[in-house]
Amino acid sequence: MNLEDYRTVFIASGLILSLVAAAPALSFYFPFSGGSERFSELWLLGPGHMAEDYPFNVSADESYLVYVGVGNHMGSSVQYSVRVKFRNQSEPLPNATTGTPSPLPLLYEYRVFLEDGKTWEAPLNFAFSGVSFVDNRSLVESLVVNDYVFRVDKLALWDVENNGFYYQLFVELWIYEVASEKFEYHNRFVGIWLNMTSV
């Protein structure tokens, strides 16, 4: 090798080493798309912050506690809307195939702004009032969520197979889309089944 070849190798090696050394700083300006999947987490935990001991057999004028949480792995900061809804066993849930939310009315909402990689969790206290039982029907007139009272008038029929009057408290995850300047359903929901009892 002559002197010119050594010079070319030296310059090329120096450029490669400079790029490798600068890679962490460059990632702030040129994020690598890589193979990492971007997603959001949504969860409900029992009163002990664990995936256990969820309320199930419930009755009027008793207070129950679960925790709702969100995790952001979208690659950037996101504004979320966590929407609480309530249904009987025959009313529609969100449709995962079409990515559409449940048409049931929003009862309570948490607005959450999360940086990428961060999580948020909050208590969701709920209670029922105006509960009545006639023949094979149960009627819940009002649902209290975090001390706010909502008129729901939900009727459930006796479920012979599962031996109870079943309702479901569920939460949907919505995300603020900058392009449309509105919240859109993020195709994630979680819920718990509740058996309304007379005692």
Both 76 and 173 in one domain: the answer is yes
Domain count, the chain: 2
Q: Which amino acid, 99?
A: G
Domain that holds residue 76: 39-196
Quick one: 157 and 66 in the same domain?
Answer: yes
| Token pair for 51 | 């995936």
64 and 28: one domain?
no
CATH number at residue 81: 2.60.40.10
Q: How far apart are CA 131 and CA 99, in angstroms?
A: 33
Identify whether residues 183 and 120 lie together within a single domain. Answer: yes
Enter the pTM of the model. 0.81
Same domain membership, residue 79 and residue 27: no
188, burial (CB in 10 Å: exposed 0-12, middle 13-18, buried 19+): buried
- Residues 146 and 169 grouped into a single domain: yes
Structure tokens at 92: 């529609």
For 68-102, how does the pLDDT look when each residue is reduced to its tens digit (9 = 90+)?
Answer: 999 999 999 999 999 999 999 999 999 999 999 99
Q: pLDDT for 128-150, tens place per residue?
A: 999 999 999 999 999 999 999 99
158 and 110 share one domain: yes
Task: Let me know whether 107 and 59 are in one domain.
Answer: yes
Q: Mean pLDDT across the chain, nearest whole number? A: 88
Amino acid 21 reads A
Confidence of residue 176 (pLDDT cuts 50, 70, 90): very high
44 and 24, same domain (yes or no): no
For residues 22 and 43, membership in a common domain is answered with no
153: left (phi over 0), alpha (psi -120 to 50) or beta: left
Mark whether 13 and 56 lie in a shared domain: no
At which residue do the structure tokens 């599962």 appear?
A: 162
